[in-house]
Amino acid sequence: MTARRIKINWFSPLPPARTEIAHYSARIMKSLAKRFDVVLWTDQEEWDKSLEETVAVRRFAIDEVPWTELNNADLNVYHIGNNPQYHGAIWQISRKHPGVIVLHDMALQGFMLYNKQPLDSEALAAYTALMAYYYGAAGRAAAERVCRGEESCDALAGEFPLFEPAVDNCLGIIVHSRTAFETIARRQKWPVFLLDLPYKEIADIVPDQLPVKRVEPPFHIIIFGYIGQNRRVDSILEALASLPCRDSFILDVYGELFIDDLLPERLEALGLTHIVKVHGYVTEAELDAALAAANLAINLRFPSFGEASSSQLRIWAHALPTIVTRTGWYADQMDGSLIFVDPENMVNDLRTTLNAFLDQPEQFAKKGASGRRILCERHIPEVYAKSLLEVFAGAKQLKNHALVNLMVRSAAEQISALCGDLPADDYAEKVSQEIYKTFTEVEIETP
């Protein structure tokens, strides 16, 4: 007798949305459809219609919650990233009907600040209240500095990541980096699962016979994605400008820019106008062609916002050696698959690394090949879908944990209210230890 397939609602941005999470969902959908009955949900007005050849796609709106469909599924899966444009509505639905959260970013400072528009006094007060609730007086003080314009919210991400509001009433959490897993697991509040971020099926990855790279200058360096301050483009430009052999490189920049470092006057002042090419946002096919032609990738993330890197998986598909910072997900990767630079000595390390590349490009190419092997062994959608099946098969137990977590939150909030301006999470950890000690060996039936 064939086992009943698990029915899931999958809430995610979809192509052509300009977010890597949309591409992630599209890439793995065929593998998911082999194991689950899947309905894709989006608040976008347009999406890639080819997805409908594999699964059903439905549109939702906050003021028209699809209650019947939500209740009829075995599980609802919500994808949360750091961009409120793509994930704000999904988060609001997850608050109304708990499910499993796939947490793509640990640092949600910007999301929680800008999710409520316009950014008026009411929105700032809501942000300050969240910071005070989860981090007490220190959180409130930090939020007030942001509201006064004395500090950016991103600068708080290390000490006050503010992912908690995104997951507080969830059934469980899926993450793709060990750093995120360990941070959440220490809280002892939610079931959390670590899965390797998927990319493409092996048959869809660049063929084993990779294009022959150029073996003499100028060598092409590529940067791509959603490029903000943490991508450290300023350090890259400074390192390039200081190289006597700068003409041995061409820096190609693809993607959406949220910085001013690449303005023409800045490049002219550094003497880099002739070697830095800004291409803007391009199609998937155009980006893959650029990666195929490149010799070296730079994928710096400092500070890291706790995310796993789909960008790095795409780079590895082309066996490109990559310069990264030893932070977050990148620090978990095997030595020999990446080239690390020290965030505290970034310009000097970049300069040294680029000079080393000119001396021995073949040694760098070996690191790119090692990364490609890791991609093919661990980051395949079919492996991911199988892991999800194991997680979702325990749906009843996830709901039991959620019931216990509700008890934890209620008790912690009441204690925090009695004790003054202290974070409820401090009490939640202590309360959860006692409640879980009582209930972990008891089967709790939910309605």
What is the per-residue pLDDT across 62-87, written as a single tens digit (0 to 9) for each?
988 999 999 999 999 999 999 999 99
Distance of CA 225 to the CA centre of its chain: 12
80 closest CA partner among 176, 147, 8, 6? 176
Whether residue 155 is predicted with pLDDT greater than 90 in this model: the reply is no
Whether residue 334 is predicted with pLDDT greater than 90 in this model: the reply is no
**pLDDT computed for residue 349 by the predictor:** 97
Whether residue 407 is predicted with pLDDT greater than 70 in this model: the reply is no
Whether residue 269 is predicted with pLDDT greater than 80 in this model: the reply is yes
Burial of 247 (0-12, 13-18, 19+ CB in 10 A): exposed
Whether residue 359 is predicted with pLDDT greater than 90 in this model: the reply is yes
**Count of alpha carbons within 13 Å of 384, Cβ hemisphere only?**
26
**pLDDT computed for residue 402 by the predictor:** 57
- With bands split at pLDDT 50, 70 and 90, how would you rate the model's confidence at 292? very high
Can you tell me whether residue 204 is helix, strand or coil? Answer: helix
Q: Which residues of 33-57 are buried (b: 16+ CB within 10 A; e: fewer)?
A: bebbbbbbbbbeeebeeebeebbeb
CA–CA distance from 141 to each of 133, 147, 290 (Å)? 12, 10, 46
Q: For the CA atoms of 389, 395, 397, 401, what is the dihedral angle to 10 degrees?
A: 110
Report CA Rg, the chain: 23
Contact in structure between 71 and 96 (CB atoms under 8 Å) = no
Sign of CA dihedral 323, 384, 175, 256: positive
303 preceded by a cis bond (ω within 30 of 0): yes
CA–CA distance from 60 to each of 269, 300, 330 (Å)? 49, 36, 35
**Count of alpha carbons within 13 Å of 3, Cβ hemisphere only?**
7
Distance CA 366, CA 375 (A): 14
Distance CA 178, CA 196 (A): 9
339 closest CA partner among 318, 317, 361? 361
Segment 333-357 mean pLDDT: 94
pLDDT digits (tens, 9 = 90+) for 77-136: 999 999 999 999 999 999 999 999 999 999 999 999 998 888 899 999 999 999 999 999
The highest-level CATH class for domain 203-376 is alpha beta
Q: So what's the architecture of 6-199+384-439 in CATH?
A: 3-Layer(aba) Sandwich (3.40)
**pLDDT computed for residue 446 by the predictor:** 36
314 closest CA partner among 291, 296, 330? 291
- The phi and psi torsions of 335 (rounded to 5 degrees) equal -60, 140
Poorest-confidence range of 243-257, 336-350, 422-436?
422-436
pTM: 0.84
Whether residue 58 is predicted with pLDDT greater than 70 in this model: the reply is yes
Q: Residue 79's beta-bridge partner residues?
A: 102
Question: What type of residue is 365?
Answer: A
Burial of 92 (0-12, 13-18, 19+ CB in 10 A): middle
- The phi and psi torsions of 57 (rounded to 5 degrees) equal -120, 130
Please work out, in degrees rounded to the nearest 5, the angle formed at the alpha carbon of residue 184 by the alpha carbons of 26 and 325: 70
DSSP string over 228-263: -GGG-HHHHHHHHHT-TTGGGEEEEEEEEE--STT-
Q: Residue 250's beta-bridge partner residues?
A: 220
**pLDDT computed for residue 444 by the predictor:** 37
Read off the tokens for 348.
Answer: 């000097």
Segment 369-374 mean pLDDT: 94
Q: What is the rounded average pLDDT for all residues in the chain?
A: 88
Read off the tokens for 291.
Answer: 């990666």
Contact in structure between 90 and 62 (CB atoms under 8 Å) = no
Considering the chain, tell me which residue range(s) the CATH 3.40.50.2000 domain(s) occupy. Answer: 203-376
**pLDDT computed for residue 408 by the predictor:** 58
**pLDDT computed for residue 41 by the predictor:** 98
Phi-psi sector, 280: left (phi>0), alpha (psi -120 to 50), beta: left
Distance CA 428, CA 411 (A): 8
